[in-house]
Amino acid sequence: MWLINAKAKHWLFFILLVVSACAVQKKLAPTPAVERDLPRKIVLSIDSLLKAGDYAKAQKYGHLFIRQYPRSAYLDDVAYRMAYLHIIADAQNPFFDYGKARRAFEKFLEKFPQSQYALACNNWLKVLYLESQLQERNAQMQKELRLLKQELKRKTDEIEHLRNTLKDLEKVIKR
């Protein structure tokens, strides 16, 4: 049922984009009510695409929205979703990248410091900062582990050499 709704919303978004593009090309003025409501419907369509896991289309429509409606009241909504897209840890998400997410959230806060999403962006930045610290600590510990393994191997080889020497000495003493 959800996929049908997501597909229906996707097609609605696509039709709205086509109608909007046709109106711009033919210099037709859409009715004010339709024009005011279109950005909100596009945002809802982007949400549906994200929920359905169609990340490529969500990203494409998000960037189209940003280009087409640079002064929209929904611009921060779409910009937040485009930043959020980078933290969706799904194997099907080609945009999953914590580094890009961090940069996108920082850029968002520079551009929209008073947005309703500012607190969420700050929270994501804290999480991403902690994740980054954990990754650095993990890399450091992996390096230390490699060094300890090398030291263990060296000590094991040294012990084996000493055992062999001891066996040789025991043989000489028994003679």
Residue 60 vs residue 172, higher pLDDT: 60
Residue 4's pLDDT is 53
The answer, yes or no, to whether residue 26 has pLDDT greater than 70, is: no
Question: Around 22, how many Cα atoms within 13 Å sit in the side-chain half-sphere?
Answer: 6
Residue 28's pLDDT is 45
Structure confidence by residue, pLDDT tens digits, 112-130? 999 999 999 999 999 999 9
The answer, yes or no, to whether residue 60 has pLDDT greater than 50, is: yes
Q: What is the pTM of this model?
A: 0.64
The answer, yes or no, to whether residue 18 has pLDDT greater than 50, is: no
Domains of the chain: total? 1
Taking residues 71-94, what's their average pLDDT? 94
Identify the CA nearest to 87 among candidates 78, 99, 74, 75: 99
What's the domain range around 118? 2-174
Structure confidence by residue, pLDDT tens digits, 163-175? 999 888 888 888 7
Structure confidence by residue, pLDDT tens digits, 35-52? 668 899 999 999 999 999
The CATH number of the domain holding residue 91 is: 1.25.40.10
CA distances from 36 to 32, 79, 112 (A): 6, 19, 21
Q: Taking a C-beta distance cutoff of 8 angstroms, is the pair 88, 120 a contact?
A: no
Residue 99's pLDDT is 93
